[in-house]
Amino acid sequence: MSEIAIEAAGLRRTYRSRIGWFRPQRREVEAVRGVDLTVGNGELFGLLGPNGAGKTTTIKLLNTLLIPTAGTARICGYDVVRQTREVRRRIGYVFGGDRGLYDRLSARDNLRYFAELYGVPGREQKRRIAELLELVRLDGREHERVEGYSRGMRQRLHIARGLLHRPRVLFLDEPSIGVDPVAARELRQTVADLAAAGTTVLLTTHYMAEADELCDRIAVIAGGLIQALGTPAELRHHADGRRVLEVEAYGVNDARLSAIHTLPGVRQAGLEVVGAAQVLTVQSDAGIDVQADVLRELAGVRLGRVTARQPTLEDAYVAIVNRVEQRSAAEAVPV
């Protein structure tokens, strides 16, 4: 058995589209621009990136739904373009969201059908389905139609479906999206248990805490390229030499945010809406205390808690992604 579960070399994917019939306009989007990746057997690997970074396209290239424009990829040693049947026997695919299940069927019948599709032998199906329903804690509700399930229950059923044929590699594409905190914690536990049992997991998520807690290694993808790769601890170094100031505020506008951006020592500033409040996060050089300057720029704005802290994985991620965005913007400026 190969030590490598997933390997990709120079993986590229360009989408070509045409709009209009009489005067067609053709567009090309390079979603993935040369991804190199190696994931070992039993590893829990995170793929993080902003929307449109190329995460889902990369997964679709690896799970055979798409053919790469260039480059190669292998799953458990099998080529994803030429040996699709062998690859499909060894992979499971779970994505977040409400869709992807037959709403009119019960959980059990959904699993029965996919057990047929994924080639689970008839004599094994009943036992396997019961095992999985118990694993994802849907036993007792398995005869109810899926249309009445909550998002969390659906998500757990997605996972059960992905595991029916005991895949060696499991692709989890934002599995916890829209799931409540309790269900998300249960889901994380399930994923951790799977990895502990030897399943290779490739996880994409927008939740840094989730990636930090679960992943052995993380790759940050942006602009269709892997921008950083390492353990969560290694990735945090991308925010080394920085400190972070968080300010809870009510009514920060774009002009004030722009002014904060230009303060001496400020590397990054971002605004996030949390409930009724805004959370302003300012990353600055570790040697410069920007708190007084920031608060001066916020004069007249109602403020809540002000906190200075060490950078987290999320800050490192923001630093990496922003660096890419700044580079892209600089390249786009006409000379």
Partner 1 sequence: MMDLFRLVGTGGVIAYRALFNWATPAMFVGTLLVGPLFQLLFFAYLGRQLQVADDRFYIVGNAVLAASLACVFGGTMAVSNERRFGTLGHVLLSPRSRTAVFLGRVLPYAGNGLLIAVSTLTAASLLLGLRIPLSALPGLLLILAVAALSCGFFGLALGAVGLRLRDVWLVSNVAVALLLLLTGVNVPATDLPTGMRVAGQLLPITHAAEAARRLAAGDSLAVAAIPLAAEAAVALAYALLAATLLKLFEAESRRHASLDTL
- Rounded CA-CA distance 293/93 in Å is 49
Considering only residues 113, 241, 253, 325, which one is a binding residue for partner 1 as defined by CB under 8 A? 113
Neighbours of 271 (CB within 10 A): 17
For residue 206, which amino acid is it?
H
Helices and strands in the chain: count of H runs, count of E runs: 11, 14
In the complex, the smallest distance separating the C-beta of residue 301 from partner 1, rounded to whole angstroms, is 42
Considering only residues 101, 163, 203, 252, which one is a binding residue for partner 1 as defined by CB under 8 A? 101
Considering only residues 32, 33, 76, 93, which one is a binding residue for partner 1 as defined by CB under 8 A? 93
- Rounded CA-CA distance 181/87 in Å is 34
Phi-psi region of 178 (alpha: psi -120 to 50; beta: other; left: phi over 0): left
Site for partner 1 in 41-80 (CB under 8 A): 56, 60, 63-67
Residue 95, interface with partner 1 (CB under 8 A)? yes
In the bound state with partner 1, the residue whose beta carbon lies nearer, of 123 and 287, is 123
Cβ(49)–Cβ(235) under 8 Å?
no
Residue 33, interface with partner 1 (CB under 8 A)? no
In the complex, the smallest distance separating the C-beta of residue 25 from partner 1, rounded to whole angstroms, is 17
What's the sign of the alpha-carbon dihedral 37, 41, 43, 49? Answer: positive
Residue 15, interface with partner 1 (CB under 8 A)? yes
Q: Which stretch binds partner 1 (CB under 8 A): 82-90, 283-291, 302-310, 319-327?
A: 82-90
In the complex, the smallest distance separating the C-beta of residue 121 from partner 1, rounded to whole angstroms, is 7
Site for partner 1 in 197-256 (CB under 8 A): none
- Rounded CA-CA distance 37/229 in Å is 9
In the bound state with partner 1, the residue whose beta carbon lies nearer, of 156 and 161, is 161
What's the sign of the alpha-carbon dihedral 323, 326, 331, 335? Answer: negative
Residues with Cβ within 8 Å of residue 60, at least 6 apart in sequence? 66
Considering only residues 79, 109, 144, 216, which one is a binding residue for partner 1 as defined by CB under 8 A? 109
Structure tokens at 215: 């992943």
Residue 112, interface with partner 1 (CB under 8 A)? yes
- Rounded CA-CA distance 38/2 in Å is 12
In the bound state with partner 1, the residue whose beta carbon lies nearer, of 59 and 282, is 59
Residue 284, interface with partner 1 (CB under 8 A)? no
User: Half-sphere exposure of residue 90, counting CA atoms within 13 Å on the CB side?
Assistant: 22
Residue 119, interface with partner 1 (CB under 8 A)? yes
Positions touching partner 1 (CB under 8 A) are: 15-16, 56, 60, 63-67, 84-86, 88-89, 91, 93, 95, 97, 99-105, 109-110, 112-114, 116-119, 121-122, 161
